[in-house]
Structure 1
Amino acid sequence: MEGEGASASKEPRTARGRRTLRAILDAAAVEFGEKGFHEGSISGITRRAGVALGSFYTYFDSKDEVFRALVRDMSDQVREHVAPALKDASGQIAAEQAALLAFIKFARTHKEIYRIIDEAEFVDPDSFRMHYASTADRIARRLRAAAERGEVRDDVGEVHAWAIMGMNVFLGLRYSVWDEGTAPETIAETVASMLARGIAVREPD
């Protein structure tokens, strides 16, 4: 997975190394997701991963470094989970609907992403900003491509992209982390309808 990232000079060169790195990142997600950055520990991560303390330092120099890598990894996981849904959609509104549906399902099985990304604002502001800026940039690029195909308004841009991302983030918080009582399909259909038609009362023709 592209998100697997040790220090630049410590990237694993073997399949076993990649599995160990993956185990460390997955364990870090659980450790920081449960305890937060400050209470989480390297020993807690290695215990959860089932690896020796020395194995951690093979890939990371500090708790800050593994946290930074984890934020990148989780951002990449979201992108890779959503990408197939975008590829299979017919039309941009359908693509945004599919993307939201995929994200809500992802967030329901990775609730820790919200605590980790929120803490990144204070632990590693650059990673926090990069997570959202890169996500919005991907949305903006696909909106502009859709505009060129004549599928959406030709004035779509950065503001629209950030608005869509903001909706998705808070819908994931409300309907994945706080409560799972609403079907993800219903949420995605509601938002797609709003994107397609807005919320103003339509005057009769």
Structure 2
Amino acid sequence: MLDPGETAASAGKEPRTARGRRTLRAILDAAAEEFGEKGFHEGSVSAITRRAGVALGSFYTYFDSKDDVFRALVRDMSDQVRAHVAPALKDAPHQIAAEQAALLAFIKFARTHKEIYRIIDEAEFVDPESFRMHYATTADRIARRLQAAAERGEVRPDVGEIHAWAIMGMNVFLGLRYSVWNDDVSPETIADVVASMLARGIATQE
């Protein structure tokens, strides 16, 4: 998420003023709407600037091309997810509760930002590096917090990268099913079921 001091603009075009950062934020938000509705190939720079309420020249003040704003948008959406989930993690009393809170926060985020799925999926073909980075950095954050929890004795000592990718994959597809395709189950119920599965597995309890 673009905050003061962070940059999403093309190299050498970073905003230097608060007004510039607001304009950049407006362009990114408009790009999310445009690409979310039309996709990358049908979306256009002129439509993005109309949505943002800025002049066409303002776009090129911060971005070199449609490809550049799309690439910046993928990074920005990853940052938005991270910023939305982070507070929930801080208040969790233990790691299973943290994963439960993270999923709950993500499901709620995805319900109000459904365009993230179309944009990230298109990134696989429009900008494969951004696509891979989105998932790799997300999995890395999960792996680090699982490993820290293992050191605290809250989860099994052998947790690692595979567990992190499994949790991320589960969360991604739960968001797709219960946020984008349909929201017929409460986020709390989804997070409760997953927390129980993480804590106890799915084998018959003896």
With structure 2 as the length reference, what TM-score do the two structures score? 0.97
In 1, distance between residues paired with 2:203 and 2:15? Answer: 54
One of 190, 194, 200 as aligned partner of 1:191? 194
Structure 1 pair 73/111, CA: closer, same or farther in 2 (3 Å)?
A: same
User: Shift in Å at residue 8 of structure 1?
Assistant: 2.4
Contact 1:28 1:45 in 2 (8 A): yes
Deviations 1:143-199 (A, max 9, x none): 000000000000000000000000000000000000011100000000000000000
One of 96, 116, 121 as aligned partner of 1:118? 121
The percent of aligned pairs where both chains have the same amino acid is 87
1:45 aligns with 48
Deviations 1:10-44 (A, max 9, x none): 11111100000000000000000000000000001
In 1, distance between residues paired with 2:139 and 2:7? Answer: 21
User: Shift in Å at residue 5 of structure 1?
Assistant: 0.4
Q: Which runs of 5+ in 1 are unaligned?
A: none
Deviations 1:107-151 (A, max 9, x none): 000000000000000000000000000000000000000000000
In 2, distance between residues paired with 1:119 and 1:46? Answer: 21
In 1, distance between residues paired with 2:154 and 2:195? Answer: 14
In 2, distance between residues paired with 1:155 and 1:61? Answer: 46
In 1, distance between residues paired with 2:13 and 2:155? Answer: 44
SS of corresponding position for 1:39: coil
SS of corresponding position for 1:9: coil
One of 142, 145, 154 as aligned partner of 1:142? 145
Structure 1 pair 4/23, CA: closer, same or farther in 2 (3 Å)?
A: farther
One of 23, 28, 48 as aligned partner of 2:26? 23
One of 112, 130, 141 as aligned partner of 2:133? 130
2:170 aligns with 167
User: Shift in Å at residue 4 of structure 1?
Assistant: 4.9
Per residue, is there more helix in 1 or in 2? 1
The Cα RMSD (Å) is 0.8
Deviations 1:66-107 (A, max 9, x none): 000000000000000000000011100000000000000000
Contact 1:93 1:196 in 2 (8 A): yes
